[in-house]
Chain A
Amino acid sequence: MNEEKKMRIPIQQLRGAKDLLEDVVTATVNASESLQQKIVRQPYALLQRIDVIAVPVRKIESVQTTITQKIYGTIRLVTRGSAGLASRLLDLAERNARRRK
């Protein structure tokens, strides 16, 4: 009961916080992308009913969808990269802690 205690956040919990942060960012990005696509789809669907401009509208929508996917994809890639880097730093910290023991 009286043994010396270190007040330090265990690596397991730091890893958990990192995983949770990654999950939250990814879920937010996915939800934002899906929401944006649903909202943007409505005016395009309306415009595509007009035969004269249907073809160019479809092309514009396709370009915009591609750009949007690339932007969200980049955010997801950066998130994964950052999470990977954080994992490596935590591994290093864990190895150092084990060595000190």
Chain B
Amino acid sequence: MIVEKDETVPVRSSDDVVRVRREVRAFAVGAGFSLVDQTKIVTAASEIARNTVDYGGGGTLRLETVRLGMRRGVRLTFADRGPGIPDVKLALTDGYTSGSGLGLGLSGAKRLSSEFDIKSTPGEGTVVTIVRWK
């Protein structure tokens, strides 16, 4: 996989979540995504960014434009050093929430992505990686 563009932005406040949406949109446009595909990855990013702020205590987002053969995509890596998720499988269940939300954040983001990966270590933090291919 070739990385064509690479950038990292902070994800610390709800203002940053708005900025994440803008940055991800720019990467999706740059990768030639259709409007629907742009909207899907921006929405997925918004969900995960909110989790990073609300549950992870803030962190970073690495945005990459990637290419695999003829395929282009956008890869997003959200990393925080928060408390971690004790039960990742449970956290990925529709309707499950440890907070006050709808419990669609992670599961919804997964459905909106082509590839989805989550690594969480209690006490150390969480890294969520999503890729959407054009």
Partners in one complex: no
A-side interface residues toward B, CB under 8 Å? Answer: none
B residues sitting closer than 8 Å to A (CB atoms) are none
